[in-house]
A and B are shown apart, each in its own frame.
Chain A
Amino acid sequence: MSSPCRASLALAAVALLGGCDREERDSRGQPVTETVPAGATADTIYPGGPSGSTVTLSPKAAAYENNAYHIAQGQQLYGQMNCVGCHAHGGGGMGPALIDDEWRYGGRIEQIATTIVEGRPNGMPSFRGKLTDTQIWELAAYVRAMSGQVRKDAVGARTDEPSNTPPLTQTRREPIVPGEDATP
């Protein structure tokens, strides 16, 4: 065996070991009993509300948005639920692009989850009753990852689709809200 090959094997082993403790997840899929927050608004402006950012991530969001397993599950759902038919692999079509920096109804995970559950008036259908809460969070986590919001070690290094669009590891990170830094 040539030495570059041995070196790459060693590297792979290191990467694997590193992968073992990069995150934790409930492999038994601890049910998320609460429903998706119905009140997650599309904007951060509340008349008479407090000045400055009002973003408060729900604890549930953290369990999904940087989790490799959930993002991978979300990626499968993205194809299976025909999201890809309207939004393509993020560039959009019948629906808006998801890899860019424009979010009609908000780019935080709760907002994306709300969009999936409730639908939106310009043509986004409601998937209420078609997915479990867990699946909706997973799908939202993947959609969020499409614009480069999550850690590169949490996303897939290859794409599932035959047309070979650039994988998420190569996706540029777009700001979710102008002037507001995205969650790392």
Chain B
Amino acid sequence: MAGAVRWRLAALFICTLLATPAFAQTGAVTARSVAQADNGNWEMPGKNVAATRFSAMREITPANVRNLRVAFTASTGINRGHEAPPLVIGGTMYLVTPFPNKLIALDLTKPGAPTKWVFNPKPPTAAQGVACCDVVNRGAVYANGRLFFNTLDGRTVAVDARSGKLAWQTKLGDIQRGETMTMAPTVANGKVIVGNSGGEMGVRGWIAALDTGSGRVVWKAFNTGPDKDVLIGPRFRPFYAMDRGKDLGVKTWPPGAWKIGGGSVWGWVSYDPQLRLIYYGTGNPGPWNPEQRPGDNKWTTGVFARDVDTGQAVWFYQSTPHDLYDHDDINEIILVDMPVAKRMRPVLLRPARNGFFYVHDRRTGQLLSAKPYSYMNVAKGIDPHTGRLIPVPEKEPKVGRVVRNICPAAPGAKDWNPAAFSPITGVVYIPHINLCMDMGALEANYIAGTPYVGADVKMYAGPGGNRGVFTAWDPVHARKVWEFKEDLPLWSPALATAGGLVFYGTMDGWFKAIDQRNGKLVWQFKTGSGIIGQPISYRGPDGHQYVAVMSGVGGWAGAIVAGKLDPRDGTAALGFVNAMKDLPARTDAGGMLYVFTLPR
């Protein structure tokens, strides 16, 4: 079936080529999307299980985008970071908010999109105290008439899309141990795939699959500990020797440290329906102070491929063995097919937090290429034979001294906010950051429900003085196509459209459209608050193309505004405040939906 989908997609893709002048100008199109065809809805944050964030809508183009204007807006009434995308299913739009995680349904068939219903899961207020980086939520997902999302206090809830009534809820996380849930679930083969957050709180990371019908846990796999907990069995064949061995989730840690070692799952899960594999990355090991956890700290800061039905691990690749800088590996995983040595290969693309753009064969985990897409000075490269990251020894944090000029900083070359892939150009559009940091390690004490970090950090702009970068990356040739600087860190994901545009937002509130071919700014609109939300595009009930985004600054980068932090202390918000002292003068908090369309 998936093969058929792929061929259909290929057909659609050829039509797109014929219709789009962009093709002729950018040369060979080589990487191919494996996403299902676009039905005009936006049903999950990544647009599809291949996580392309590509909309087949083409009404809005570089030629007419200057006329784009606001169609309607809606306030969420919440002053924290809005990272979630609006979802659109038929004539209804759904917004999931930061804590207290309300789910709001708007009726798109009526003028002004009035509220249909609001579902309030009522998480306890105490949950706010164990959310490391603002009380964000990264979105809901739609399947079979229900919306699935996570609440900050560690529940996965299923809500009937029509009535707004609770279908089921399953309690998975425990705030007493510092666990929250902020990621957007992925639905794959009748299961809701979810994971925990709390890598700064000494949690033990896990991923779980719940039955979409009942909420029952089908399988649950930990990312640290003995093989039986990690669901490592006979099917597990990591490509590289560094990831092979019995109970590495125990042996690569000091005694017992794996129980509080992190490896949470707060980012993105992709799914290949043909291979029946899910792909996700694991978070940082805890504490940040690396001297407290000698060893490779398996299975943190790496990528797992698991069987969707059983959860059994199929392969793993550790991007950053013994992470030194909080370089979680949870970023998006984009599935495409592309030529490698003149042969089409099923691959996955990862613009990772440690600054490398990884291409793996998604059947085996074999590394096909890994090149830096952003400035870095803490790694020399990746050994092509062992697959192992080569660190720069003098940049290793040690207790009692401050290591200066570590690039990229703790949030990496790119944090959670995903890139988009356009099959028109074959290019990945990466909104990311250019920050370096000073870091001093300290002895961290584990006290359940409190931070387990052990580091003092101060971040600042990297070389060039700009804190944000937008990079267009050709995954086939592993090279930059174009790039431009942004003053503020880019904390909003990208959206690519068949009209030839890329949309993204900035932390001072500009919502921008650029031309896919050259990165030229072709339209911008100033929203009420900084944008860290996920832009989407859909076909409205009137048959026309719309573009929507949540405005509402916050998140780790925007914590200085959302949490009213004091800029005199640069170490505030785990050191991010030092780099964002100008933000309070440039934007203020306030969650608001903006929807745009062309005038008619």
**Could you tell me which A residues sit within 8 Å of B by CB distance?**
79-82, 84-86, 88-97, 99-100, 102, 121-125, 130, 161-166
Contacts and interface: CB of A to CB of B under 8 A. Distances in A.
Contacts of B127: 123
Contacts of A165: 569-571
A89 B571 contact: yes
B129 interface: yes
A94 B458 CA distance: 16
Contacts of B129: 86, 94-95, 122-125
Contact of B563 (A81, A92, A164): A92
B132 A88 contact: no
Contacts of B457: 163
Lowest 6 CB-CB distances: which A-B pairs, in order? A123-B129, A85-B451, A162-B440, A91-B569, A91-B572, A163-B456
B568 A166 contact: yes
B131 A82 contact: no
B243 interface: no
Nearest to A82: B450
Contact of A90 (B440, B442, B566, B575): B566
Interface of B: 125-133, 200, 400-402, 438, 440-442, 444-445, 447, 449-453, 456-458, 559, 563-575, 577
Contacts of A125: 129, 449-450
6 contacts: A85-B200, A85-B450, A95-B129, A100-B564, A100-B566, A125-B450
A96 B565 CA distance: 7
A92 B573 contact: yes
A94 B125 contact: no
A125 B131 CA distance: 13
A108 B444 CA distance: 29
Given A88-B577, A92-B573, 20 more contacts: A81-B447, A82-B453, A85-B451, A88-B571, A89-B572, A90-B568, A90-B572, A91-B566, A91-B570, A92-B566, A93-B563, A95-B129, A97-B565, A121-B126, A122-B125, A123-B126, A162-B456, A163-B458, A165-B569, A166-B568
Nearest to A161: B456
- Which of A95, A96, A97: most chain B Cβ within 10 A? A97
A99 B453 CA distance: 21
A91 B567 CA distance: 7
B91 to A, nearest CB: 38
Nearest to B399: A162
A94 B131 contact: yes
A85 B453 contact: yes
A1 to B, nearest CB: 32
A21 B90 CA distance: 78
For the complex, would chain B's binding face be called helix, strand, loop or mixed by DSSP majority? loop
Contact of B568 (A81, A99, A130, A162): A99
Nearest to B446: A82
A168 to B, nearest CB: 12
B445 to A, nearest CB: 6
A158 to B, nearest CB: 14
A163 B288 CA distance: 15
A171 to B, nearest CB: 9
B376 to A, nearest CB: 22
B564 A102 contact: yes
Contacts of A89: 456, 569, 571-572
B447 A93 contact: no
Nearest to B458: A163
Contacts of A130: 447
A88 B451 contact: no
B573 A93 contact: yes
Contacts of A163: 402, 438, 440, 456-458, 570-571, 575
B452 A91 contact: no
- Which of A82, A86, A163, A164: most chain B Cβ within 10 A? A163
A86 B451 contact: yes
Contacts of B574: 88, 93
A75 to B, nearest CB: 13
Given A86-B129, A93-B565, A161 B442 contact: yes
Contacts of B569: 88-92, 97, 99, 165
A94 B574 CA distance: 9
Contacts of B564: 92, 96-97, 100, 102
Nearest to A100: B566
Contacts of B442: 79, 161-162
B125 A80 contact: no
A162 B400 contact: yes
Contact of B128 (A84, A97, A100, A123): A123
A99 B449 contact: no
A86 B572 CA distance: 8
B451 A94 contact: yes
A44 B127 CA distance: 28
A128 to B, nearest CB: 13
Contacts of B402: 162-164
B572 A97 contact: yes
Given A89-B569, A92-B573, A97-B564, A82 B400 contact: no
B402 to A, nearest CB: 5
A88 B129 CA distance: 14
A100 B563 CA distance: 13
Contacts of A99: 566, 568-569
Contacts of B458: 163
A88 B572 contact: yes
Nearest to B437: A163
B325 to A, nearest CB: 15
B66 to A, nearest CB: 41
A122 B458 CA distance: 26
Given A85-B452, A123-B129, A93 B559 contact: yes
Contacts of B126: 121-123
A122 B128 contact: yes
A100 B438 CA distance: 24
A97 B573 CA distance: 10
Contacts of A97: 564-566, 569, 572
A88 B128 contact: no
Given A81-B445, A82-B451, A123-B125, A94 B571 contact: no
Contacts of B200: 85
B452 A121 contact: no
B352 to A, nearest CB: 25
B452 A82 contact: yes
Contacts of B572: 88-93, 97
- Which of A82, A100, A165: most chain B Cβ within 10 A? A82
A82 B566 contact: no
Contacts of B452: 82, 85
A85 B172 CA distance: 24
B484 to A, nearest CB: 31
Contacts of B559: 93
- Which of A93, A96, A161: most chain B Cβ within 10 A? A93
A94 B565 contact: no
Contacts of A161: 440, 442, 456, 571
B135 to A, nearest CB: 9
Contacts of A95: 129
Contacts of A90: 566, 568-569, 572
